[in-house]
Amino acid sequence: MPSVTVSAPGKLFLLGEHAVVYNGTCLVTAVDSRLWMTLTAEEATHNPTLTIIAPDVGLTNWSCLLKESFFRPAYQGPSAFIESCLAVFHRRYPFHANLTIETRSDFGANLGLGSSSATVAATLYGLSALFHADLSPDQLFTLGVEAIQNVQKLGSGADLAAAIYGGTLYYLNHFPRQITPLAVDSLPLLVVYSGEKAGTVSYVRKVAELEESWPNVISAVIETMFTIVDSGRECLLARDWVGLGQLMNIQHGLLHALGVDTPSLSEIVFAARNAGALGAKLSGAGGGDCAIVLVDDTHRSAVIDALANKKIVNVQANAAGVRLEKA
């Protein structure tokens, strides 16, 4: 009974979220909270089955025929990303086996740390290892983008790039997509949960509606975000934390202008800045999930005290990408 265990990291957007959807750029980093996945193949008779055990998303012993997963008209619910990956993988690399997929996550689906992209990276990498397809990171990425599109119909793919390649990336969402690893050793970040769960898809649509109403205004905001990302890249590489913090503050202001900020996220941002943080912003689509705070050692404990009523999420940036844990 061949079996492999793989893991993939979560992610945080440092700069450029939303702008990256508009053929833009962003800075994204992988975090050391990981999604763990064990994939087991068993010899099958004529109708192979799929079983998913993913208690973090409420699937205790979910199963169906694999061919149902391959041909769903729409991929929905907690099994959607795994099933969609199976369909795109099987189309290129047909296999005939009963599959059991078990997942466990260090971070839970509610924090917005990229459980979907980590699931996609882990499923495709796990299938590649299990069935000896030997997919390169670029091939994994191409299949992963297709799998995500089949579920969400939108998305820049930046979160998937972080889950596959790991580290801290400059990501260009423009054909051909460019994924550039940045030589960053550490990032003095604090990650703080807003207490609210956000829906990425609805917030991307919300910005698209605003863009339809005010194309000139919103395109100027998006263009400015592109400049912020390019400047942020220079600051990151030069370890200019003061500059990076200022750019994070400006990016937060522009995200607020796009209507994706919330009172809870703003509360974190202002409390952190008032306690001496170099910069603070929401991270990701907005509407909830986490804020990130850039803070030097001198002010770290004051910032943590100022956020005593919030949940600090204990993660480090710049983590390793998807990898094999056990063959």
State in angstroms the smallest separation of the CB of 250 from ligand PMV. Answer: 17
Beta carbons of 241 and 253 less than 8 angstroms apart: no
Residue 315 CA to residue 240 CA, distance in Å, equals 21
Smallest distance from the beta carbon of 158 to ligand PMV, in angstroms? 5
Is 150 among the residues that bind ligand PMV (CB under 6 A)? no
Q: Does 159 bind ligand PMV (CB under 6 A)?
A: yes
Give yes or no for residue 21 binding ligand PMV (CB under 6 A): yes
Relative to beta strand 279-282, strand 49-54 is unpaired
Q: Does 200 bind ligand PMV (CB under 6 A)?
A: yes
Q: In the block, which residue shows the tokens 């979907």?
A: 116
Q: Are 213 and 205 in contact (CB under 8 A)?
A: no
In this complex, which beta carbon is closest to ligand PMV, that of residue 9 or of residue 112? Answer: 112
Interface characters, 101-140, with ligand PMV (x: CB under 6 A): -----------x----------------------------
Of 188 and 287, CB closest to ligand PMV: 287
Choose between 40 and 262: whose C-beta lies nearer to ligand PMV.
262
Write the binding mask 277 to 296 for ligand PMV: x where contact by CB under 6 A, - elsewhere: -------xx---x-------
C-alpha span between 50 and 314 (Å, rounded): 34
Query: Among 187, 145, 177, which Cα is nearest to 12's?
Result: 187
With CB under 6 A as the contact rule, the residue among 122, 140, 151, 204 that binds ligand PMV is 204
User: Nearest approach, Cβ of 57 to ligand PMV (angstroms)?
Assistant: 16
Specify whether the CB–CB gap between 290 and 113 falls below 8 A. Answer: yes
Is 196 in contact with 287 (CB distance < 8 Å)?
yes
- What is the DSSP-derived secondary structure letter of residue 177? P
CB burial of 82-112 (b: ≥16 within 10 Å; e: otherwise) equals: bbbbbbbbbeeeebebbbbbbbebbbebebb
Q: Does 155 bind ligand PMV (CB under 6 A)?
A: yes
Applying CB under 6 A, which residues contact ligand PMV? 13, 17-18, 20-21, 112, 155-156, 158-159, 198, 200, 204, 284-285, 289
